[in-house]
Structure 1
Amino acid sequence: MTIALTAVVIVFASVFAFLNGFRDASNAVGLTVRTRALTPSIAVVLAAGFNVVGVLTSAWLLTYFGGSWLATPDGDPGLVVLVATLASGSLWNVFLWWRGYPSSSTHALVGALVGATIGSALRGHAGPGDLAGVLWIQVWLPLIVSPLLAFGVAFFLTSFVTWLVRYSQPNEAHRALRATQSVGTAAVAFGHGLQDGQRIIAVLVLATLGSHGDWQAVPMWIVALAALALGAGTLFGGWRITYTLSHRLVRTDPLRGFVAQLVSTIMLFFGAIWLRWPLSTTHTVTASILGAGTNQKFGSVNGRLLARLIAFWILTPLATAALGFVFALALDPLSH
């Protein structure tokens, strides 16, 4: 049964990675396509390529993530927890993509893991003890800090960039800023791969090597599989979410698009490399877009849509925890 469950985890992890890239492609390409800096086809190819590079680079960050939040029971019960976690996160991600709402795949994964672990514990399988600490560090603290920080920095940086180009003709300034947005797309995609790639790799390492595996010697086939799945999902692009970010949520232009991408890139790189803190790409990019878009003389934000987005951001870890709990109980017979 162990071999079969391991194969199922690998398949589900690949599906989750594909959906991650599929849904989060909008974070990298939405603004670039909206301001016509790149065509949609070129933008997604560029984003997919740098997503892959980001995943390949993220493997060395696993020393932190592998040993902190990602822990499951040993043997078949642990594999069942992973199956329940990945199935829950994938279902929720598909549901929100269908609704056109951007949300955090990381928070979906962590919430599902906590719920599945609780369900497994009720069936007598020991798991990590500090679930409240995992939720606080991995979900609630980033959910509070990163959007507020991204919004504030983008808002004030928009005023500074506007002052810098105050003597330029609008068409000249926009042309130069569109060129920088091409670089911004690549940078955001790389940051997304750097942040989210390590989560996918960690799940695959835990499934194949166990909780006592060497996190500093990750097999290359695992890294390659995670990179391929995430990159393939990005190539298909979840355009429903792209439309929400670039057209429905807030009015924007090349200047504000440039500012949002710059703030998102800096935060993703700083969070992944220096702080080694799991920042949601979706929350960071969306808050940056809102911060830059709000700094205008007219109402530019769809308030009702924003309220629904925030509600779904809060609901995501709770909903996936409930799904993970149910799936873990339903699949428990496979662990015996």
Structure 2
Amino acid sequence: MDTFALVVTIAVALGFTYTNGFHDSANAIATSVSTRALTPRAALLMAAVMNLGGAFLGQGVAETVSEGIIATPEGSQGMGILFAALTGAIVWNLITWYFGLPSSSSHALFGGMVGAALAGGTEVIWSGILEKIVIPMFVSPVVGLVAGYLVMVAIMWVFRNANPHKARRGFRMAQTVSAAAMALGHGLQDAQKTMGIVVMALVIADVQQSGDEIPVWVKIACAVMLSLGTYAGGWRIMRTLGRKIIELDPPQGFAAESTGASIMFGSAFLFHAPISTTHVITSAIMGAGASKRVNAVRWGVAKNIVLGWFITMPAAAVVAAASYGVIWLVFG
């Protein structure tokens, strides 16, 4: 039974990674597609390949997820908690995907972990939640907004005397690089989050003793599932990011993607903080768009997106807690 529970939990974790891929693929490529720097299929293929590569760049984020959010639960109850946490995250991902709302898969996972842990009587490491999730949740969008604005202002100043048509063509080509960097950062951040969950499941099942090591097969499985999900595409969310917030031009797209990629790499390597790629790129798009005129950004759409950010964790937590209750009634 324990082996069966482990296999099912890992399968659901990989399923979450797949939904993460098609839910968040828009993060890396929406701006490039909307500015016609890349065709949709070429952009998705590039993003899938770069996601795969990014998954192998580190493991600091995975260690934070596996050891810094909730205490590792034990036995069959512990496996039930992980299963419920993943269920909460997947359900919320599907709901927000259906409505085209670019919410955070990362915060859906964290909310699911907290909700399931509270329902199952497992300790929640509130200091880790505050330092690694809540503070970055507020700081990273602000940094993305300000940095996106400043990068775009710098671009406008540097190229103020350039031929507009040549500059746009050049930035359209440069977006291939900036979109690839975004996809690499997405792989670095989001594949590791599932790695952390799988490692926690292996520790609960006594397959390994601690969460310090990530088996190679876990890295490969999570990376491949994220890439497959990315290639499946998230067209609903892509339209929101690429068109509904602001009509992006190639320089703005490059500024937003460069900003987002830099923040994701910095947070992963310097702080091991599992930030939301959705929050970062959305705020960077807003900042880059506001550099020309503030009313260029459709702030009503932006308001709905920000509202989605705030309700994601509690909503996923409620679904996860309810899922754990069902598991307890059926198998408890």
Look up the equivalent residue of 1:206 and give its one-letter code: M
SS at match of 2:52: helix
Of the structure 1 ranges 197-206 and 230-239, higher mean CA displacement relative to structure 2 is found in 197-206
Deviation at 1:275, TM superposition (A): 1.6
Unmatched runs of 5 consecutive residues or more in structure 2: none
Counterparts of 1:103-122 in structure 2, within 5 Å, are 103-121=103-121
Of the structure 1 ranges 59-68 and 200-209, higher mean CA displacement relative to structure 2 is found in 59-68
Counterparts of 1:182-261 in structure 2, within 5 Å, are 182-210=176-204, 213-261=209-257
The equivalent residue for 1:67 is: 67
Q: For 2:149, which of 150, 155, 180 is the aligned residue?
A: 155
In 2, the alpha carbon distance for the partners of 1:197 and 1:243 equals 24
SS at match of 2:295: coil
Look up the equivalent residue of 1:92 and give its one-letter code: W
In 2, the alpha carbon distance for the partners of 1:192 and 1:60 equals 14
Deviation at 1:159, TM superposition (A): 1.1
Deviation at 1:60, TM superposition (A): 6.0
The equivalent residue for 1:128 is: 123
Of the structure 1 ranges 153-162 and 44-53, higher mean CA displacement relative to structure 2 is found in 153-162
In 2, the alpha carbon distance for the partners of 1:214 and 1:62 equals 12
In 1, the alpha carbon distance for the partners of 2:294 and 2:316 equals 38
SS at match of 1:58: coil
In 1, the alpha carbon distance for the partners of 2:232 and 2:250 equals 25
SS at match of 1:305: helix
Normalised to the residue count of structure 2, the TM-score between the two structures is: 0.95
| Preserved CA contact (<8 Å) 2:114 2:124 | no
Task: Give per-residue Cα distances to partners, 1:107-140, cap 9 Å, x unaligned.
Answer: 111111111011111xxxxx2243x334323432
Change (3 A) 1:12 1:227: same
Task: Give per-residue Cα distances to partners, 1:40-93, cap 9 Å, x unaligned.
Answer: 111100000000111122346544443322533111111000110101100100
In 2, the alpha carbon distance for the partners of 1:43 and 1:115 equals 36
In 2, the alpha carbon distance for the partners of 1:61 and 1:286 equals 21
| Preserved CA contact (<8 Å) 1:59 1:223 | no
Change (3 A) 1:202 1:70: farther
| Preserved CA contact (<8 Å) 2:159 2:167 | yes
| Preserved CA contact (<8 Å) 2:117 2:124 | no
The equivalent residue for 1:296 is: 292
Counterparts of 1:270-309 in structure 2, within 5 Å, are 270-297=266-293, 299-309=295-305
The equivalent residue for 1:124 is: none
In 2, the alpha carbon distance for the partners of 1:10 and 1:34 equals 36
Of the structure 1 ranges 102-111 and 54-63, higher mean CA displacement relative to structure 2 is found in 54-63
Q: Aligned-pair RMSD on alpha carbons?
A: 1.6
In 1, the alpha carbon distance for the partners of 2:13 and 2:116 equals 15
| Preserved CA contact (<8 Å) 1:108 1:316 | yes
The count of aligned residue pairs is: 330
Look up the equivalent residue of 1:247 and give its one-letter code: R
| Preserved CA contact (<8 Å) 2:203 2:211 | no
In 2, the alpha carbon distance for the partners of 1:68 and 1:243 equals 35
What's the % identity of the aligned pairs? 32
Look up the equivalent residue of 1:309 and give its one-letter code: I
The equivalent residue for 1:327 is: 323
Deviation at 1:332, TM superposition (A): 1.7
SS at match of 2:17: helix
Deviation at 1:285, TM superposition (A): 0.4
Look up the equivalent residue of 2:184 and give its one-letter code: F
| Preserved CA contact (<8 Å) 1:72 1:117 | no
In 1, the alpha carbon distance for the partners of 2:331 and 2:84 equals 12
In 1, the alpha carbon distance for the partners of 2:72 and 2:66 equals 11
| Preserved CA contact (<8 Å) 1:119 1:328 | yes
Of the structure 1 ranges 296-305 and 206-215, higher mean CA displacement relative to structure 2 is found in 206-215
| Preserved CA contact (<8 Å) 2:179 2:257 | yes
In 2, the alpha carbon distance for the partners of 1:316 and 1:268 equals 20
| Preserved CA contact (<8 Å) 2:111 2:317 | yes
Task: Give per-residue Cα distances to partners, 1:265-314, cap 9 Å, x unaligned.
Answer: 11000000112112110000000000000112362222221111111110
In 1, the alpha carbon distance for the partners of 2:124 and 2:250 equals 48
